[in-house]
Amino acid sequence: MMEVCLIGGVKNPIGDRLRVLRTEKKLSQENIALELGISKSTYSTYETGKIKLTIDRLQEIAKILDVEISEIIIDDKRKSFNLSEPSKQYGFATKSDIEELSSMIKQLKLEFEKFKTEMRDSKKVAVKKSRK
């Protein structure tokens, strides 16, 4: 049996597509879980990537969602991501991911400028000491 490994803490494109397809079909996690004969929390782990998902399970989910398994596995952003969603996804990064990265870059720039200033100042001190 082949498994698709979805690792928690890493962007989870298959789980993201499961969520998008499920919401497009106006189904809840509980609806899908009931059809699969599992708990809602177990199904949730599929969408979040906290559990390994087998190809057989993906086929079952595809059948419930009335889609081809390729729509879940293959990254076709035109079909898979609805940009009008509240999360405002940009590919696999959400708007908040982009904002967080932007904030980190700004902070790194400030720290780099501070470092450059400290290096310049220490160079001036070294030059003064060498002249004495």
* Encoded tokens for 94: 């959400």
3-93 belongs to which homologous superfamily?
A: lambda repressor-like DNA-binding domains (1.10.260.40)
User: Which pLDDT does position 83 carry in this prediction?
Assistant: 42
Q: Which helix (H) or strand (E) holds 103?
A: helix 95-131
- pLDDT band, residue 5 (cuts 50/70/90): very low
Residue with structure tokens 């499961």?
Answer: 18
Per-residue pLDDT tens over the stretch 18-60: 999 999 999 999 999 999 999 999 999 999 888 878 888 989 9
User: Which pLDDT does position 71 carry in this prediction?
Assistant: 84
DSSP category for residue 97: H
Per-residue pLDDT tens over the stretch 73-83: 876 554 444 44
Beta strands in the chain (DSSP E): 3-4, 53-54
* Encoded tokens for 59: 């086929």
Q: What is the mean pLDDT of the chain?
A: 78
DSSP category for residue 47: H
Is pLDDT above 70 for 88?
Answer: no
* Domain layout of the chain by residue ranges: 3-93, 95-132
What is the rounded CA–CA span in Å between residue 13 and residue 105?
25
pTM: 0.51
- pLDDT band, residue 92 (cuts 50/70/90): low
